[in-house]
Amino acid sequence: LSKAVTGQFYSVQVGDSTFTVLKRYQQLRAIGSGAQGIVCSAMDTVLGIPVAVKKLCRPFQNQTHAKRAYRELVLLKCVNHKNIIRLINVFTPQKSLEEFQDLYLVMELMDASLCQVIHMDLDHERMSYLLYQILCGIRHLHSAGIIHRDLKPSNIVVKSDCTLKILDFGLARTACTNFMMTPYVVTRYYRAPEVILGMKYKENVDLWSVGCIMAEMISHKILFPGKDYIDQWNKVIEVLGTPSLEFMNRLMETVRNYVMNKPQYPGVSFAELFPDWAFPSDSEHDKLKSKNFEC
């Protein structure tokens, strides 16, 4: 890594990106990237702890990116919950408003994303604990009037002791607006029908995402692996069946005509979709707790 020290900051080349960070953050290593930024692990030499440093990708290139950056920063500052990632610091290396173009968020460092854990053979206790923590974090957001909108395995991080935190609030909203207005929304596989079809939505779109994540943890495969918008909707109705007339009446006319002209699907039963043998067996600890309870 090449370093160019300048005053309070120094620059490090991380892949194709240059990180210009405070000197307190050392040993930068790339650990992930996405639509909203690049993340490095680092050692905070002031606090003496490992941290995650996220550089937002061109946050002010247009209004959409600027809103996304602002949302993430404000929500991270406001939310305080053990299952939501904690913001430790935020800084920019630029010295004036005219130059201001880079934004860095420093957060607590976790061991892995749920992507790396979701296909493991988790026992009942660990799977239940992970899902419980996701629901606790989401419940806290919803109680504050926040809809995450982008819940997916890559936006959930875990530690080796099974503690879990939700992150990435660039798409979170505090008001109900039309999803189709946002060019980049929740990852397709985890999108609720309201999202796919451009309907008004509320907090329960996050619970749909949790259900898709849970299904993937149980079956070790994506529940609705759509190749595009249309294929995603087809996957949903093939499994869950053709929606009710009440649901159809909530759609925009053009969308309703399209949906109603699709073949009728009866859906797959829960028992067929998730047979008993697919669920993890109790761990020894679960069995012990159950035995103690019976006593």
Please compute, for residue 85, the number of CA atoms within 13 A of its CA located in the half-sphere on the CB side: 28
How distant is the alpha carbon of residue 267 from its chain centre? Answer: 28
Q: Which of 147, 152, 204 is nearest to 176 (CA)?
A: 147
State the Rg of the chain over Cα: 22
Question: Which residue type occupies 151?
Answer: L
Which of 160, 25, 150 is closest to 88 using CA atoms?
A: 25
Spatial CA neighbour of 267 closest among 232, 235, 238: 238
Q: How many CB atoms lie within 10 A of CB 211?
A: 14
Distance CA 34, CA 152 (A): 13
Phi, psi torsion values for 25, nearest 5 degrees: -100, 115
227: Cβ contacts below 8 Å, ≥ 6 apart: none
**Separation of alpha carbons 104 and 93, rounded Å:** 9
Catalytic-residue membership of 150 = yes
Distance, in Å, from the CA atom of 75 to the CA atom of 193, rounded to the nearest integer, reads 26
Q: What are phi and psi of 84, to 5 degrees?
A: -120, 135
Indicate which residue of 150, 161, 206, 228 is catalytic: 150
Residues belonging to the active site: 150
